Amino acid sequence: MKPTFDVVIIGAGVVGSALARHLTRFACSVAVVEKESDVGMAASARNSGVIHAGINYKPGTLRARFCMEGRRLLTQLCEELNVPYSICGKLVVAMCEEEVSELERLKAQGEANGVPDLRIISGVEAAKLQPGIEAIAALHVPTSGIVSPYALTLAMAEDSAVNGANFYLATEAVGIEHQHNCYAIHTKSDTVRGRWIINCAGIHSGRLAQSIDSEAPDLYPCVGEYLLLDKQVGEKLSMSIYPAPQADGAGLGVHITPTMDGNVLLGPSNEYVSDPETRCCTGSTANRLLEEAKTLWSDLPPQVVIGAYAGVRSKQTSPEVGGFGDFLFRRTPNHPQLIHLIGIESPGLTAAPAIARHIVDEIIRNEEPFKPKTAEEISLRRWPLRFDELPEKEKERLVREIPDHGDIVCRCEGVTKHEILQALNNPLGVRTLAGIKYRSRAMMGRCNGGYCLPRIVDILQQEYGWEPTAFQLRGPTSPMFVGRLLEEDHG
């Protein structure tokens, strides 16, 4: 039987991973239960990757508070873990006079939240900052930035695993039960027990909370589709471009954002759906995203889309109500050691480190004086440097030292054989092709793996003797080469 952990986290998105990472800085036992075969595969990898400055949230809300605290902690964390980020700024553009009043409202709201250096600038000045903008005015937000969202989540989770967090991957929690001095999390195959439980199961957090707390709210999935553009567009875009907010919008509008990998994102769309697991992208939405983006940025070249993906927002507001709810940290008098994090939609990526600090330092450690670990007791795991981004001299030195760096496996992203093997030997024990992709960036370029996938397959067969059945895209339900297409018919 598994031990009873001090803290069990359900869901390893950016919030669960930030919690695990912060908890492993204290002398306590931590487990993370995640239904997918890897961490950070839901909303946390499928968003705009924007470090929000704090202009979009009503002063006094949890979203405003945790965005402001989160952006400061996030950049510190990125420095510490070597996660790529950039404070590149953003422009919110106005195309007509009414939208200029929206910019003024946003500026006042941002200032009330403590966002520094906000300026409303002319269309001419905006076009100087970002050529191709044809607006009448813009709000310049210099403290907004971008981060690699999947690298952030993976880096925090891997650092916490190295520092003692126990990850139960491919383990779906189906219910929570109070037992005499702990909580039992029932999974499809097992039970994991903890004295404190933090439910951060994203879009499923409301439903999971209802297994023990019938008054926990429902959540409404609202999908946001994106288009990923080639790096040739990335060279022309220096900062994010957002439209002025629409009054009834459940999102921030279709925006254009550079990524830390040098690509550009267009999106997201904004559509309530019934399937919380949807990942579908449609041609009609893609066309609409391209059209809307062109109104923001006339320099957008045609024929540059290299991929598409979708992320699901965890909305507390129904389609009829629209707009945004606030973050909900639900803790009832009957179950004070059970904390449900519900409705963590945007700016959840930015806010995650601050949410983790709050839950651990201001709630759990108030009642459990877990001793902080000393510097010697902590092993920092830094996100690996990318070979392709190193200076030539450093590359030459590394190839002499580690010959596998001399073998470029992914030509689009310049990923070496050593980086593929390094990605495979991750501390979470993830052995999927998606796991290699997100850790090394192989298969993320414009050929979408057309060139490097066969080479990666060869490497895994030769170095590790993998059989065709061992190759899975995301986990056991997505075999790459050999697997069942249909269930057996016993009828």
Ligand X SMILES: Cc1cc2nc3c(=O)[nH]c(=O)nc-3n(C[C@H](O)[C@H](O)[C@H](O)COP(=O)(O)OP(=O)(O)OC[C@H]3O[C@@H](n4cnc5c(N)ncnc54)[C@H](O)[C@@H]3O)c2cc1C
Catalytic residues: 52
- Minimum CB separation of residue 270 from ligand X in Å reads 8
- Minimum CB separation of residue 17 from ligand X in Å reads 7
- Minimum CB separation of residue 461 from ligand X in Å reads 30
- Minimum CB separation of residue 146 from ligand X in Å reads 8
CA pair distance 343, 61, nearest whole angstrom: 13
- Minimum CB separation of residue 74 from ligand X in Å reads 9
Tokens of 59: 């002063």
Nearer to ligand X, 42 or 420 (CB): 42
Nearer to ligand X, 350 or 416 (CB): 350
CA pair distance 95, 294, nearest whole angstrom: 13
Nearer to ligand X, 53 or 118 (CB): 53
CA pair distance 128, 135, nearest whole angstrom: 12
Which 3-state string (H, E, C) describes the chain? CCCEEEEEEECCCHHHHHHHHHHCCECCCEEEECCCCCCCCCHHHCCCCEECCCCCCCCCCHHHHHHHHHHHHHHHHHHHHCCCEECCCEEEEECCHHHHHHHHHHHHHHHHHCCCCCEEEEHHHHHHHCCCCCCCEEEEECCCEEECHHHHHHHHHHHHHHCCCEEECCCCEEEEEEECCEEEEEECCCEEEEEEEEECCHHHHHHHHCCCCCCCCCCEEEEEEEEEECHHHHCCCCCEEEECCCCCCCCCCCEEEECCCCCEEEECCCEECCCCCCCCCCHHHHHHHHHHHHHHCCCCCCCCEEEEEEEEEEECCCCCCCCCCCCEEEEECCEEEEEEEECCCCCHHHHHHHHHHHHHHHHHHHHCCCCECCHHHCCCCCCCCCHHHCCHHHHHHHHHHCHHHHCEEECCCCEEHHHHHHHHCCCCCCCCHHHHHHHHCCCCCCCCCCCHHHHHHHHHHHHHCCCHHHCECCCCCCECCCCCCCCCCCC
How far does Cα 169 stand from its chain's mean position? 17
- Minimum CB separation of residue 174 from ligand X in Å reads 7
- Minimum CB separation of residue 10 from ligand X in Å reads 5
Nearer to ligand X, 110 or 414 (CB): 110
Nearer to ligand X, 348 or 414 (CB): 348
- Minimum CB separation of residue 45 from ligand X in Å reads 7
Contact set with ligand X (CB under 6 A):
10-16, 33-36, 41-44, 47-50, 52, 172-173, 200-204, 208, 224, 268, 311-313, 344-350
With left for phi above 0 and alpha for psi between -120 and 50, is residue 262 left, alpha or beta?
left
Nearer to ligand X, 16 or 414 (CB): 16
Nearer to ligand X, 2 or 400 (CB): 2
Nearer to ligand X, 137 or 328 (CB): 328
- Minimum CB separation of residue 339 from ligand X in Å reads 13
Nearer to ligand X, 12 or 127 (CB): 12
Tokens of 423: 């990605």
Residue 48 corresponds to which amino acid?
A: S
In the bound state, the residue with its beta carbon closest to ligand X is: 348
Residue 344 corresponds to which amino acid?
A: I
